[in-house]
Chains A and B, each alone.
Chain A
Amino acid sequence: MNVIEINNLTKTYGKARGITDISFHVEEGEIFGFIGPNGAGKSTTIRTLLSLIYPTSGSATIFGKDCIQFAPEIKKEIGYLPSEVFYYDNMKVKDLLKYSASFYKKDCSKRIKELVEIMDLDLNKKIDDLSLGNKKKVGIVQGLLHEPKLIILDEPTSGLDPLMQQKFFELLEEENKKGATILFSSHILSEVQRLCNRVAIIKEGRIVTVEKISTLQENNYKKFKIETAAPLDQKYFQISGVNNVEVNNNVTSFIFKGNINDVMKKIAATEIANLWIEEPDLEEIFMHYYEKEV
């Protein structure tokens, strides 16, 4: 079953860029990554899903229901953590969490207690007096306290120290094991690589590709680095599937996708001093996606 289904979603703001014709779906129980640079349209997509903004055209369903028409009903089962958290400054942490819980018609006090312990949060402080990282922790507890079936995270890790980030990821993995579906937007690839099963890459308001992390990483791409006796011509490796060629004196490197034999023949035809073939990390693949259209 698809928890989120987005169909040809378009949102334009006057002349400013929004999102164009976005379509993808998130299956039940998966951790879905949504990556792209700042301003690519990640937040716009997410805010449309949450009916904070309304689409110009297209539609989206969550739990099989239209996300605008059934917004209040759907939101009972959604936990949302924005990239920047802001709460009523003169409230105490305790009161804010209580207020947040009061919107869900169930007893959340036990879960609040657990989460507060994991996140190491001081309940009696005023929101105003909290550091950025601590506010973020309040956000995490606030987003998870009603044990939502769908967790939507919009660049959630900013402001968290590495230790907390670790705890937070563990928490998310635990929620996922319990059955929660997670939509995780980020521009930091290593965290997406670590958590997600599948990923959608968005660029300038359009989806570039939707793939499994494993497919992106292992099957398609190899990173070649070749050391030769004399510098190679930049054009030597100009065969299909070769990208990002860089020649640095005697060292030539590129990313390759396709039949590996072709490139091996090419390499065999020249005098080489050393050879490295590696799995590229997501970052390099990602850059590749972005650069090829420049």
Chain B
Amino acid sequence: MNIFMHELQASRKSTMIWSLSLAAIVVFYMALYPSFARDAAEFTKILEGYPETIRNALGINLGGFFTILGFYCFPLAFISLCGAIQAMNLGTSIVSKEVREKTADFLLTKPVTRTTILTAKLLAALTSLVITNIVYLAAASIMVFQVKTEDFSFQLFILLSLTLLFIQLIFLALGVIISVIVPKIKSVLTVSLATVFGFYFLGMLSGGTSGEEAKRYLSPFKYFETGYILKHASFEAPFLMTGAIIIILAIAASYLVYAKKDIHAV
């Protein structure tokens, strides 16, 4: 419990900044909705001029773009990207922080098992993400109710918003396994930005060539297609499963590696 509280304390500033930033982004984007909705017909024409690849990459699907939920998918793609960076940062620094700041000796000579340490740190990271999502969801909900021009399904809105949390969990798990395996990470941001953008571009490319479902498995950003969610009011089960399997495997492997790892002197 003490490690958990300590970790939470340590990441409180960054959690606050990320929460407020994500909330600010969604507030800003949704504030644009009323004027978008007014000029719907003209915008459709402009957007039809864009290649489909780019439209998909940006999370725009023409059919429902001018309903409030369709419009909401647009900032959501960007917010998921930011959220992934936050989660990846948290995950990557989870163990590497102790090595980089040379505090591993302090923590690991205390009467606790490494499993306890990793569990406490994971729970703290998870708590940070949940807090971020709650703040974000609150801001987004208030905003959509403010700008809506017609009624919409709130359940569907929550479902869409949950993709942020799911993507974050996947990247948290990826970050943790990297953190445990790589002996010394000099800069967390470099690693996390490279990984997140790597997957993001991979997702853009695989999304472009239509019809190839298999390629979507390559990027977690493609696991939760907003178009599908809007149409079916549910997630795509195979991708949800894949995400869960990635998380479980990465976390389990992290525990195994961390328990056996040599902690070298500074």
Which A-chain residue is minimally distant from B100 (CB atoms)?
A86
Establish whether residues A86 and B260, one from each chain, have CB atoms under 8 Å apart when the complex forms: no
User: Which label, helix, strand, loop or mixed, suits the secondary structure of the B interface?
Assistant: loop
Bound complex: CA of A43 vs CA of B266, how far in Å?
Answer: 11
A-B residue pair count with CB separations less than 8 angstroms: 60
The residue from A50, A71, A88 contacting B103, defined by CB atoms under 8 A apart: A88
Contact A80 B103 (CB under 8 A): no
- What residues of B have a CB within 8 angstroms of the CB of A52 in the complex? 104-105, 108-109, 262-263
- Out of B109, B111, B266, name the residue touching A86 (CB < 8 Å): B266
Q: What class of interface size applies to chain A in its complex with B? A: 20 to 34
Given contacts A53-B264, A86-B266, A88-B101, contact A78 B6 (CB under 8 A): no
Which residues B243-266 have CB closer than 8 A to chain A? 260, 262-266
Beta-carbon contact of A54 and B111 below 8 Å: no
Of residues 147 through 204 on chain B, the ones whose CB sits less than 8 Å from some CB of chain A are: none
User: Contacts of B260 on A, CB cut-off 8 Å?
Assistant: 54
List residues of chain A with CB within 8 A of the CB of B24. none
Chain B, residue nearest A146 (CB): B111
Say whether B2 faces chain A, with CB atoms less than 8 Å apart.
yes
Q: Which residue of B lies closest to A139 (CB)?
A: B106
Given contacts A71-B113, A72-B113, A88-B10, contact A102 B2 (CB under 8 A): yes
Chain B residue with Cβ nearest A101: B2
Are A86 and B102 touching (Cβ within 8 A)? yes
A261 CB to closest chain B CB (Å) equals 49
Whether B214 sits at the interface, judged by CB under 8 Å, is no
Q: Are A47 and B263 CB-contacts (below 8 A) given A82-B105, A88-B103, A99-B6? A: yes
> Are B110 and A75 touching (Cβ within 8 A)?
yes
Q: Specify which chain A residues have a CB less than 8 angstroms from the CB of B142 in the assembled complex.
A: none
Q: Is B112 an interface residue (CB 8 A)?
A: yes
Using an 8 Å CB-CB cutoff, how does the interface string of A11-55 with B read, 1 for contact, 0 for none? 000000000000000000000000000000001000100111110
The answer to whether A53 touches B110, judged by C-beta atoms less than 8 angstroms apart, is no
CB neighbours (8 Å) of B265 from chain A are 43, 47, 82
Partner of A84, one of B2, B102, B108: B102
Docked pose: A75 CA to B108 CA in angstroms? 9
> Is the CB–CB distance between B2 and A86 below 8 Å?
no
Q: Of all chain A residues, which has the CB nearest B259? A: A54
* Complexed CA–CA distance, A74 and B111 (Å): 7
Which of chain A's residues have a CB closer than 8 A to the CB of B103? Answer: 86-88
- B residues apposed to A, CB below 8 Å: 2, 6, 10, 101-106, 108-113, 116, 260, 262-266
Contacts beyond the supplied A47-B263, A102-B2: 19 A-B pairs with Cβ under 8 Å? A52-B104, A52-B109, A53-B262, A53-B263, A54-B262, A72-B113, A75-B110, A75-B112, A76-B111, A82-B105, A84-B102, A84-B266, A86-B103, A86-B106, A86-B266, A87-B103, A88-B10, A88-B103, A99-B6
Q: Provide 21 A-B residue pairs closer than 8 Å at the C-beta atoms, listed in order of the A residue.
A: A43-B265, A47-B264, A47-B265, A52-B105, A53-B264, A72-B111, A72-B116, A78-B109, A80-B105, A82-B105, A84-B266, A86-B106, A86-B266, A87-B103, A87-B106, A88-B10, A88-B101, A88-B103, A89-B101, A103-B110, A104-B111
